[in-house]
Each structure stands twice: as C-alpha cells, then as structure tokens.
Amino acid sequence: MTAPLIEAKELVKLYQMGDETVHALAGVSFVVPRGDYCAIVGPSGSGKSTMMNILGGLDTPSGGRIVIDNADIATLTDEELATFRNRTIGFIFQSFNLLPRLSALENVELPMIYGGVLPKERKERAAALLTRVGLGERMSHRPTQLSGGQQQRVAIARALAGRPALLLADEPTGALDTQTGKDILNLFSELNREGVTIVIVTHDHEVAAATKRTIEMRDGRIVADHLNGSRAA
C-alpha cells in the first residue's frame, strides 16, 4: 500500500484567549488513506473547525505533526502554503463562496488562474468540470442566477479544478434543503468512486452517515473513529 494521504500524530493547537490557554486540538492522531471518504463530526467547540483549517493549509499546528500528500504542514512557508492550497486542496464551503461578479465558468477558472494555467486550457478544464457536475448548460450564468444546489455544484467544480489530492468540505449541505443536500452527497459519493479522497467536516450525523467513515471529535480529541458499514450504495 502507498503512503496514506493524511497522517496526523499527536496534533496540538493552542489559542490564547485572554489569560486562558484553549486547547482547540489536544493531541489528535489519525490516518486517512488515499481514496477514503470520511466525515469529521462534533459539536461546536469540538475542534473540528480547527482541524479543517489545518487540513486545508489555512492554519498550522502548535505541536505534533501532520503530513498531507507528503507535505509536512508545520514546515511550509506562507508561499508554500498558498501553493499547497492551490494544488493539493479543493475547498467546499457551507455558503458556496462564489464571486458574484464572475460567471460559473469564471468562478471555476479562479484557482487555475492562481495556478498559472493558460486561459485556453483553463476554459476547457472548467467547462469539462461544470459538465461533470451537471451544469453544462449554465456555464455563463452568474451565481445569483443559480439555485443553491447549482451554486454548490459550481463550488465543487471549482474545488476539483486544481486536480487536488483532497476535497475538503465544510458543512457542504448546511445551506441546502434536504433533497438538494442529498443530491450533493450523491455527487460526492460518485466523485469518491472515481477516486477522489473526500473529507467532510460537519455537525450533522446524517451527513456523516452518507460517508464511508466517521471520526467523532469532542473537546479537541477524537472520541470515536468507525466505518459506516451498512451504507447503501
């Protein structure tokens, strides 16, 4: 077996809140192999948001070690972190975070612009990705002209644009109605079957149940880590 995509060992993250030191992460260890589809769940304050920020290269740990796709996050410079976010991570947010002035196609192009991909290739790849998520007919639409589910599909296409090793989703169905949320989770399952590694951070156990594996956090520690065996295809 090849090296796992994510390998976290005794991960610690401290915040100073006035006089008090908060252990957002108090020694977290886990491994995510390539091709996995897992959910990190927990109530607010459990440390899952901090975990997501570190996984996404937006934040660095205070202690311990985390290696993602052979990159030791703690040792990366600001510039290397930017490249890491661009090449290795595909972010999906609860509120989609599409730029309202740009069309769907241009929103998908955005990470490739920072990756230095030439316009022609950018457009082709963005168009192929939008077609893949079922928006082939709406490429020139602005986000405001799209429904919530469609907007999240654009965001998923954008997350895939950099051909990332890891798709990192933060409450991806939080702003969607139940049916649309299910559709999005089905899209994640399809993408995972095609080989994309996906980590979803959520407080919703139903969402977690749609994945292959649930990592449960509480007070900065992992309290449970189990496979969702009886998941229907």
Partner 1 sequence: MMRTADLVASASRALRSNPLRSALTALGVIIGVGSVVAMVALGSGAQAQVERSIASLGSNLLIVVPGAQASGGVRMAQGGGGRDTLTLDDVEAIAGLEGVLAVAPSQRGNAQLVANGVNWNTRIEGVTPSYMLARDWEVAQGRFFDESEERQARRVVVLGATVARELFPNVDPIGQAMRISGGSYEVIGVLESKGQSGFGMDQDDVVLAPLTTVKRRISGRFRRADTVSQISVKAASEGELNRLQEDVENLLRDRHRIRPGDEDDFTVQNLSSITETAAATTQVFTYLLGGISAVSLLVGGIGIMNIMLVSVTERTREIGLRKALGARQSDILHQFGLEAVTLSLAGGIVGLALGVAGAWGMTSLFNLPLVIAPQNALMAIGFSGLVGVVFGAYPAWRAAKLDPIEALRRE
Interface residue list for partner 1 (CB under 8 A): 53, 56, 58-59, 78-79, 82-83, 85-87, 91, 93, 97, 99, 101, 110-111, 113-116, 118-119, 158, 162
DSSP helix/strand/coil, 175: coil
Dist CA 132 CA 91 (whole Å): 17
Residue 95 Cβ vs partner 1, minimum distance, rounded to whole Å: 9
Q: 176, 31, 161, 37: which is closest to 93 by C-alpha? A: 176
Nearer to partner 1, 37 or 91 (CB): 91
Nearer to partner 1, 121 or 206 (CB): 121
Residue 87 Cβ vs partner 1, minimum distance, rounded to whole Å: 7
Pairing of strands 63-68, 37-41: unpaired
The count of C-alpha atoms lying within 13 angstroms of the C-alpha of 171, restricted to the half-sphere facing its C-beta, is 14
Residue 106 Cβ vs partner 1, minimum distance, rounded to whole Å: 9
Residue 109 Cβ vs partner 1, minimum distance, rounded to whole Å: 9
Nearer to partner 1, 56 or 181 (CB): 56
Name the CA radius of gyration of the chain, rounded: 18
Nearer to partner 1, 90 or 181 (CB): 90
Identity of the amino acid at 81: L
Residue 9 Cβ vs partner 1, minimum distance, rounded to whole Å: 23
Nearer to partner 1, 110 or 209 (CB): 110
Encode 184-225 in three state secondary structure.
Answer: HHHHHHHHHHCCCEEEEEECCHHHHHCCCEEEEEECCEEEEE
Answer whether 224's CB lies under 8 Å from 216's CB: yes
